[in-house]
Amino acid sequence: MIEMKYFGSYEAVTPGELIADEGRGGDGTYTEGNKIFSKYLGTVGYNGDVATVSPIRSIYIPQEGDEVIGKITEVSNKYWVVDIGVPYYTRLDARDLNMRVNPGELDSVIERDDLIYARIFRVSPGRMADLSMRGSRYSKLPTRTISSVEPVKLPRLIGKEGATINAIKTTTKCNILIGQNGIVWIDGDEKNRVAALSVIKLIDESYYDPNLKEKVDKLLDYVRTKI
Amino acid sequence: MYEQRFDGRKFDELRKIEAEVGVVPNAKGSARFRIGNTEAIAAVYGPDEVKPRHFEKMDRAVLMVKYDMMPFSVPDRAKPGIDRRDMEIAEVLMNALNRAIMVEEFPQMMININVYVTQADAGTRCASLTAASMACADAGLPMRDLVASVAGGKIGDSVVLDLTKEEEDFEGGATDVPMAFLPSKGEILLLQLDGKVSKEDLKKVIELGKEGAQKIYEIEREALKRRFSNESKS
ipTM score of the complex? 0.90
Confidence of residue B230 (pLDDT cuts 50, 70, 90): low
A87 neighbourhood in chain B, CB within 8 Å:
46-49, 109-110
In a domain, B2, yes or no: no
Mean pLDDT within B205-209: 95
In a domain, B12, yes or no: no
Position B231 scores a pLDDT of: 54
Average pLDDT in chain A: 89
Mean pLDDT within A62-71: 92
Mean pLDDT within B47-72: 93
Contacts 24+ apart (CB under 8 A), B199-203: B201/B154, B201/B159, B202/B177
CB count in 10 Å sphere of residue B104: 11
- Strands across the sheet with A12-13, in order? A12-13, A42-47, A50-55, A24-25
Q: Is the pLDDT of residue B112 over 70?
A: yes
Q: Could you tell me if B103 lies within 8 Å of chain A, comparing CB atoms?
A: no
Is domain A145-226 given the CATH code 3.30.70.100 in the classification?
no
Q: What is the CATH number of the domain that holds B33?
A: 3.30.230.70
Number of domains present in the structure of chain B:
1
Rounded Cα gap, residues A109 and A190, in angstroms = 27
DSSP SS3 for A84:
coil
Position A49 scores a pLDDT of: 87
Same fold, A12-55 and A67-141: yes
Position B232 scores a pLDDT of: 42
B224 to chain A: closest CA residue: A14
Task: Answer whether B145 sits within 8 Å of A40, measured CB to CB.
Answer: no
CATH top-level class of A12-55: mainly beta
Position B234 scores a pLDDT of: 37
Domain boundaries, given as residue ranges, for chain A: 12-55, 67-141, 145-226
Position A5 scores a pLDDT of: 80
Task: Answer whether B144 sits within 8 Å of A56, measured CB to CB.
Answer: no
> By C-alpha distance, which of B183, B181, B226 is closest to B23?
B226
pTM over cut 0.80: yes
pLDDT tens figures, A159-198: 888 889 999 999 988 999 999 999 999 998 888 999 999 9
Confidence of residue B227 (pLDDT cuts 50, 70, 90): confident
Q: Which of 2.40.50.140, 2.60.200.30, 3.40.1350.10, 3.30.390.10 would CATH assign to domain A67-141?
A: 2.40.50.140
